[in-house]
Structure 1
Amino acid sequence: MYITPGVAGGEAMCFELGIIRRPGGRVPDGPYDGTGKFELKMSTTRNAAQCAEETIAGKWAPRLLAGLRK
């Protein structure tokens, strides 16, 4: 999760809350994700990255990179 703080009218405010990961779940669509194409949604990108990290690819990719660096 990330928070974008700011000041408006001399008062501290939160301008944006974003969910980057949800352990065991799916990242929901953001406020601007509802009108665009599926491939361009930020939630699609984040869900794909989370899936890759939590499945087999997330387990073998670091080993592969370590082997290539040797």
Structure 2
Amino acid sequence: MGSIGWSELLIIFFVVLLLFGTRRLPEVGRSLGRAIREFKKAGKELQDDLYSNLDLDEDDTEVTESRKSESQVG
């Protein structure tokens, strides 16, 4: 359950072919490819942003902890 087999893909292809026709099918494919590429790019940018923010937070925590230990010693 949850995976798409060959028969389902074939049915989807025929439905898309009926909806858009043979002339617009390449255009629809290109648009779909661009949309997927942009979605992946946005996801990667979000992931990179989160990781960079997490790294900054960890660095801030280390600095705060070292300052606390210095003030306790001195």
Which TM-score applies when normalising by structure 2?
0.27
More helix by share: 2
More strand by share: 1
Which TM-score applies when normalising by structure 1?
0.28
The structure whose Rg is larger is 2
